[in-house]
Structure 1
Amino acid sequence: MSEPRFLPPKGKTEIHLATTEGGHSCVIYAIDPTDKKKGTIIPDRFRKLAIAENCGIVGIDDGEDESNTSPSKNDLIVAAITKIMERQIPEELEGDGRPKVAVVKKEAGFNVTKAQFEAAWPLYVEGLGAEDEGED
């Protein structure tokens, strides 16, 4: 599995993000110049800021104009699920291999209900199919 790749807001080819904590910054490109793939992998500290700036996530929002709304909590939940699944720490996973809701809540940084998790899980799985053909 790979980390989520973020896309700049619709209509832009790149966006610059910066934090006030330590003066960190990054750029999200529509096509990453380092590996020529769609979207950019960004450090964890910028993920919430990217969502707040209307950035999309490859596999969730590939630029198709489905609606004019801002990214939903599902985007953040899917990003949290992705991060947890990449770590594969047994204590963070249920018996079925899916992340525990409490761990998703902590990773996302806001309250995640079981229903929200259940709604986001298929989006996470669909993203795997788009990026890693054949792996679930």
Structure 2
Amino acid sequence: TSDIAMLEVLHNATSTPGSASSHVDGPMRKIGNDDFVFPTGANGAWRRIAVSGINDQDTEFTARHVDGAFTNTMDLGPSLVSVSDQEHWILERAVTTDDARVELYWEDAAQSGLVDCSTLVVAAWNGSQWT
């Protein structure tokens, strides 16, 4: 998919979580307040991301997995040591200001460049710094 030819999942629709051989390579949008696992990936790698706990049925989330480093991996908040130079997800909310619980998945820690998962934390880019 692409930004101009995006797969869109409407309110109350469902999807399978995907697999290594069947996932969306590019962005996809979910509209509604249903808990949802985005079956995303990039360049043959399956990397899901999920949202849950959404209240407003007009909420839209667009998700994609990117195989490669974010454009800025240096501006780190005080509690972070580094961010991945191998992959990242982009999750954008539109229409409402509803919060959501976000879950990230990986199927193979080594393939994701993870050696010691006990020190792994999830960080977010706030526009100027990883927090």
TM-score scaled by length of structure 2: 0.31
Greater strand fraction, Structure 1 or Structure 2: 2
Greater helix fraction, Structure 1 or Structure 2: 1
